[in-house]
Structures are given as structure tokens and as C-alpha cells.
Homo-oligomer: A and B are copies of this chain.
Amino acid sequence: MALVNEHFLKLPGSYLFSDIAKKVNTFRITHPKQDVIRLGIGDVTRPLPPACIEAMHKAVDEMTNANTFRGYGPEQGYDFLIEAIIKHDYTPRGIHLSPTEVFVNDGAKSDTGNIGDILRHDNSVGVTDPIYPVYIDSNVMCGRAGVLEEDGKWSNVTYMPCTAENNFVPEIPDKRIDIVYLCYPNNPTGTTLTKAQLKKWVDYALANDTLILFDAAYEAFIQEEDVPHSIYEIKGAKKCAIEFRSFSKTAGFTGVRCGYTVVPKELTAATLTGERIALNRLWNRRQCTKFNGTSYITQRAAEAIYTPEGKRQIKENIDYYMNNARTMKDGLEAAGLKVYGGVNAPYIWLKTPNGVGSWRFFEQMLYEANVVGTPGVGFGPSGEGYIRLTAFGNHEDCTEAMKRIRKWLM
């Protein structure tokens, strides 16, 4: 008798975005003349950089001729892309990687979700709270998260609150945790850690034999000097951290699908008897067995991001979004609101005034200002009392939304 993986049944329905859609729909039907501005969406809106378009047309044309046609590529990604990644994303920061330490994928969600395959099901897990739900859900699915308790937390997961009270800097745990997820610049709060703050985590990991899963999907949005782009800027991190990167937000690849994962050769984890095993070897085996590489055409597009024109073009897009972020931050502050993020990330984390709950403020903002955000509590218990706004919309909408919020609140 085929048996299901019952851990899946522990997962509560994930209704955040469908609940939002329902509420917005209700408003639209009851207020057909009102124009709603959506600042809740986590997807890019600017078109692909011309350098990527050109590279894709060229790659598509290569597929028309048997002499230039590409079939199966390496599961780990093509050398041309891996070399560009190392040369442009790591070498300039003094980080030396070998090509076999970089694994190209079809987006960071796949790898942040699948990485658990190579780890025992009973490792303990630590997450900052609020958090990107994939980290939790993928651990629930394999039983690693334990059981859901009455307070809405999982029994085998340590939640590290990030709120205005601690300036969004998670406290170093006073106990050992086997695996810790860190996402910086952070989704959803848009906050970052300084080098000194991140170093404390690397030191903790080295002292406790903790594996850090470092999600740097928003690295390209960093504007300030003291914010690390890669965890490997911290000495010793290669011994304790896997880093996930994505072209989704960097270059508008949410529909094109490409990212990469760095698993350093010197990174190990233990067997029950204490033998050290290189995680690079296990991840390579995982990918060779369950993945057949990323589309050749997509990889050529990703390579083009690293050309001089590509770099200039993605910077223009990022500047556009960060200009939105600035407009929003300034507008919200002018309306008397307390906001975080938006400086090194395309996310604004807005504290609701007077302790109003996330969902209540969401509805007020929808009905009074006709602006849609995302209730912070949807990202975890510590998100209660916050709203996430994203800077991925068009600039006119951002400006108009700020006007409306100001008019509503002032």
C-alpha cells in the first residue's frame, strides 16, 4: 500500500496572497470607480536588459543548426557562466572560488527548497522571524520542523525575532542550532546586517558547528559601503556557509529562471559517528541525480548581465526601483509613519501606527487610500503590526500612492 509523506499534512494552507487577492477583489466590486495601486507584489515589472535579449536571440539561433545546437548541458551549469559569476561577483571582493563550487540553477527557490535533501531530517533549524516561507515549509515537508504548536511556531524551529525593538538585528542564540537560515538584504523587512554583525553569526557557526544557509537574492540592491554582498567576505564563512544568489530581482529574471548556489569545497557537516563529509560532493550528487541543468538560452542571458552593457543596464533598473523605494520611504515618513528597509533593498517595512494589527491596517489602507500592501504577519509572528511594501512597481504609481497615504493619514 503506497503511503504518503504525512509531514505534508501538517502544513496549514498557505492563503496569504489568495486572502489578499480576495479582499482586493471585494473592494473592487464594491468600489468599481476607485483605482487601486498594488504595492504588495513581489515581482519585477521592468523589461529585461537589452544585453540579455540580444544574448537570448543569439542563443536561440544557435539551436537552429546542428553544428551549434546544444543538447544536455552540465548539471552544474556551463563554464562560461560560472566563470563570469566568479570573475564579477566574487574575485573583486577578494573571494576566491573554484568553478566546481558554483552550481547554476533555475532560480533560488529550487535550491533553498531542495538543499535539505543533503541534510539529516532531525537537524534543528533556526530562522529569523519574519521570514520567507519557503525556509519553513520545506523543512516541514521532510519532518525537520517538528510539529506546529499552539503559538503558531514549529517545535524544532528556533525563531529569532527581528523587530524595531532590536533594530532588526537577530540575537545570537544562547544554544546550539544545527542549521540557520539568514536572508540579507532581508525579505520581507528590507533591512541588512553590517559586516561586524554578520561576523558574529559566522563566529557562532564556527564555534557551534552550525551550517548557515545564506540567501543573498537581493544583494544587487545594496547601496551602502559596510553591508556585505557575500557571506564569504567574512573570514571563516567558507567553512560554515552555503550562499544562494538569484538573477530574478537583479536582472528581471523572475520569468526566465536562473540563479546559483555556492557550496565551498571546505564546507563539511558530520555523520553520526563524527566523520566530516564535504557538502559540495553531496550537493553535486543531488543535482546530478535530480536536475538536468538550466536552459542553455537562459544561461547565455545570465552571462550577458556581466558584460559592460549588461552591468550598466541592470544598474539602471535597480536605480529605478531604488528611486521608487526612496520616494516611498520619504513619502511614508512625511505622512508620519515609521518605516524600515528601502535603503539597501527593494522592500519597505512599515510599522502600523498605534499598534494596529497588520490585517486591520491592510484593510484601512485599501479602503481609505486604495493602496495594497502585504500584511507583515503573513511572514511570521514577529511580522504582526507591520506591512510590507515593494518598490517593484512603476514610479508614477509609487508617487501617487504616497500622496494618497499622506492625504489619508494627515
Contacts and interface: CB of A to CB of B under 8 A. Distances in A.
Interface of A: 1-6, 8-9, 11, 14, 43-48, 50, 53, 56-57, 60-61, 63-66, 69-73, 106-107, 109-110, 113-114, 117-123, 133-134, 137-138, 141-142, 176, 178-179, 208-211, 252, 254-257, 269-272, 277, 279, 282, 285-286, 288-298, 394
Given A57-B57, A66-B45, A292 B5 contact: no
A256 B297 contact: yes
B296 A109 contact: no
A209 to B, nearest CB: 4
A79 to B, nearest CB: 15
Nearest to A209: B1
23 contacts: A1-B176, A2-B119, A2-B178, A2-B270, A3-B122, A3-B270, A3-B271, A4-B271, A4-B277, A6-B120, A6-B272, A48-B64, A50-B64, A56-B297, A57-B57, A72-B254, A106-B106, A106-B257, A107-B292, A110-B292, A113-B291, A138-B290, A298-B298
A3 B257 contact: no
A285 B11 contact: yes
Contacts of A121: 5
Contact of A277 (B9, B118, B141, B208): B9
Contact of A282 (B4, B14, B64, B119): B4
Given A2-B209, A2-B211, A269-B2, A8 B118 contact: yes
